[in-house]
């Protein structure tokens, strides 16, 4: 699983990571940056420089991984190789790259160089399922978009025997997924949030930013179920980024607590899921998972 910053794994994939670790699967998380340009929500830490925040977020991520049980974690290229790009918004509220991104910003990384770091991981871990963001980075963050590009390119290169044999034996991933919002749950949570006086999206231009996927595009939904509390604890480990008293995180909590809530995925490549009228509840459904 490939994510751009610390906390992304806990906000978007915590139930998935927790479940498959608990079921005995080999789970690897790759994080592309230290999140040096994240928003600091704790007043006592407002003095942190980007470098200091990055070091602190290493600790937050370690705590979250401990909650989820993930023991195989890799910083793409090594810690700090790629710097958090940060983000800005245009006049329509659409997320765009900032004007002042650092020289080694992930957004500016050479695609082949960054992808080769992931090729080595893919060839050494030999995953059946590989997951990252959709082409728009889900909501437009430049680092999420770059993580998508790196993941898709690396998956292709890893399977080519002639490409960089020094990085390991070739490996073809059986199924590639893009994590996405769960549209039905998002709409239901929005309705319930408004009943509690939380209206995050009422004034937003529906034509601004990436299009949300339709329900028919969602191929799998991993339920929070018994992993809801673990997912919550993992998310709250990222104290510099997550304030449960903010309206957005209140909305997030409402959405996760819905009876049928789960982490949604779009099939981006490889072996399709078995035919069904409903999304699969297992990202390995239909794959041969025998040793």
Residue with tokens 């059946």: 128
For residue 279, tell me if it sits in a domain.
Answer: no
Residue 264 located in a structural domain? yes
Residue 150: inside a domain, yes or no?
A: yes
Q: Give the pLDDT of residue 186.
A: 85
Range of the domain at 193: 2-270
Does residue 215 surpass a pLDDT of 80? Answer: no
CATH number of the domain that residue 212 is part of: 3.40.50.10320
Give the single-character DSSP code of 200.
S
> Do the domain assignments include residue 275?
no
Report yes or no on 278 lying in a domain: no
pLDDT given for residue 212 in this prediction:
65
At 108-128, the pLDDT tens digits run 999 999 999 999 999 999 999
Name the H helices within the chain.
Answer: 8-12, 14-22, 50-68, 111-125, 137-140, 142-158, 183-195, 228-236, 247-256
Q: Is residue 287 part of a domain?
A: no
**Separation of alpha carbons 61 and 32, rounded Å:** 13
Would you say residue 75 lies in a domain? Answer: yes
Question: How many domains does one find in the chain?
Answer: 1
């Amino acid at each position: 699983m490939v994510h751009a910053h610390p906390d992304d794994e806990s906000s978007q994939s915590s139930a998935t990571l927790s479940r498959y670790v608990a079921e005995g699967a080999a789970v690897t998380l790759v994080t592309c940056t230290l999140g040096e340009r994240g928003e600091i929500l704790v007043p006592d830490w407002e003095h942190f420089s980007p470098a200091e925040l990055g070091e602190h977020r290493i600790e937050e991520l370690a705590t979250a991984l401990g909650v989820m049980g993930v023991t195989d974690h890799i910083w793409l290229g090594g810690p700090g190789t790629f710097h958090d790009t940060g983000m800005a918004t245009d006049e329509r509220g659409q997320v765009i790259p900032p004007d002042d991104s650092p020289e080694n910003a992930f957004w500016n990384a050479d695609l082949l160089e960054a992808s080769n770091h992931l090729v080595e991981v893919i060839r050494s871990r030999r995953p059946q399922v590989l997951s990252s963001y959709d082409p728009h980075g889900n909501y437009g963050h430049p680092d999420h978009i770059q993580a998508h590009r790196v993941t898709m390119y690396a998956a292709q290169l890893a399977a080519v025997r002639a490409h960089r044999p020094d990085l390991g034996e070739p490996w073809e991933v059986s199924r590639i997924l893009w994590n996405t919002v769960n549209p039905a749950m998002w709409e239901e949570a929005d309705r319930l949030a408004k009943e509690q006086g939380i209206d995050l999206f009422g004034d937003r231009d529906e034509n601004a930013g990436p299009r949300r996927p339709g329900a028919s595009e969602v191929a799998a939904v991993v339920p929070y179920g018994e992993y809801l509390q673990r997912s919550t604890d993992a998310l709250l480990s990222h104290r510099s980024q997550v304030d449960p008293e903010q309206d957005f995180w209140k909305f997030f909590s409402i959405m996760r607590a819905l009876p049928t809530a789960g982490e949604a995925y779009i099939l981006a490549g490889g072996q399709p899921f078995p035919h069904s009228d409903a999304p699969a509840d297992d990202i390995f459904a239909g794959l041969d998972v025998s040793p």
